[in-house]
């Protein structure tokens, strides 16, 4: 059920009109890494990207975007075992920086002269978009992780305790 809700929310957030780069997708990937079980923690964020890109259209930099989402999901797997507010905020900041660096490097490779000046120009022109990415990541992560800890963490803890007592 949680996997379906993540895909649905992420899909709708990409399809419906919104402020450019203000999206919960990075936060959903990080959140999925923490709260989804097994391989779902990685494939669910990629599935929401695949479904929404099938509607929005595929593009030349897709490997950089999806690769970033994959790496952010792995960061969530690390956060699963190191969950606290400071780590959640740090991973949220790191995820938005990672997304900025990786996706804009992909843009550099396809749209800019392959020179140091071209690389510099690419990242400078991308800075205004980063603000929305950062603000949405912080806002959505705070809400998602607060809800996750309130609704999901007690259930996860109970299932772990039941498994341990059975052993």
pLDDT score, position 158: 59
pLDDT for the residue 157 = 57
| 3-class state of residue 60 by DSSP | coil
- The string of pLDDT tens digits covering residues 140-163 is 999 999 998 888 766 655 555 555
The string of pLDDT tens digits covering residues 5-18 is 999 999 999 999 88
């Amino acid at each position: 059920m949680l996997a379906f809700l993540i895909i649905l929310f992420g899909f709708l957030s990409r399809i419906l009109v919104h402020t450019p780069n203000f999206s919960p997708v990075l936060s959903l990937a990080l959140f999925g890494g923490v709260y989804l079980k097994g391989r779902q923690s990685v494939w669910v964020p990629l599935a929401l990207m695949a479904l929404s890109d099938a509607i929005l259209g595929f593009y030349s930099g897709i490997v950089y975007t999806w690769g970033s989402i994959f790496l952010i999901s792995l960061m969530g797997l690390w956060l699963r075992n190191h969950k606290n507010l400071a780590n959640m905020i740090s991973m949220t900041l790191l995820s938005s920086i990672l997304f900025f660096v990786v996706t804009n490097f992909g843009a550099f490779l396809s749209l800019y002269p392959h020179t140091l000046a071209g690389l510099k120009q690419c990242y400078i022109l991308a800075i205004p978009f980063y603000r929305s990415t950062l603000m949405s990541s912080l806002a959505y992560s705070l809400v998602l992780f607060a809800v996750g800890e309130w609704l999901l963490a007690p259930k996860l803890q109970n299932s772990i305790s039941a498994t341990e007592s059975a052993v």
